[in-house]
Amino acid sequence: MRHRKANRKLGRTGAHRQALLSSLVCNFIQQRRIRTTVAKAKEARRLAEKMVTLAKRGTLAARRAAIATLRDKRRVGELFSVIAPVFRDRAGGYTRVVRLGRRRSDGAELALLEWVGLAPVVRERKKKKPAEKAADKAAAEG
């Protein structure tokens, strides 16, 4: 029985799970929105909200604790300087999980994890060079 067991195992060892969640939260901080499975999104949400609470304190000890958990100084800096000030007056509930339906390949339930009140980062696609376009056309034709 799983009485009083707080976290999901996600089919991984403890170290692998910690690395996965750290990576998810770092990408979440960078992109402001990530698409993943519902179980991973719920676990990443727990960690992200704890990191925001740390960042709202703004102390050196809080910064060091966040770096120890996330292992990426740039993302922790962004968390403390950009994200935490937005949620300064909010008591909790910094993120939302929006369900998207099932993935076609394996039927896993997908979700979108996003910050409440923060717009996602818009990524621009790379434009192909004329030489790459010609190579693509040649490959398609023959």
pLDDT of residue 70: 97
| Residue 1 domain-assigned (yes or no) | no
| Residue 74 domain-assigned (yes or no) | yes
| Residue 4 domain-assigned (yes or no) | no
What mean pLDDT comes out for the span 67-93?
96
Between 25-39, 53-67, 117-131, the lowest mean confidence (pLDDT) is in: 117-131
Confidence band (pLDDT; 50, 70, 90) for 63? very high
Residue 112 maps to which CATH number?
3.90.1030.10
| Residue 5 domain-assigned (yes or no) | no
Which amino acid makes up residue 1?
Answer: M
CA angle 83, 44, 25 (to 5 degrees): 45
61, pLDDT greater than 70: yes
Domain count, the chain: 1
Q: Select the more confidently predicted residue: 117 or 130.
A: 117
pTM of the model: 0.83
| Residue 6 domain-assigned (yes or no) | no
| Residue 3 domain-assigned (yes or no) | no
Q: Select the more confidently predicted residue: 137 or 119.
A: 119
Confidence band (pLDDT; 50, 70, 90) for 102? very high
Domain that holds residue 79: 14-141
Beta-carbon contacts of residue 66 (< 8 Å; ≥ 6 apart): 51, 54, 55, 76, 79, 80
| Residue 8 domain-assigned (yes or no) | no
Count the Cβ atoms, other than its own, within 10 Å of residue 83: 21
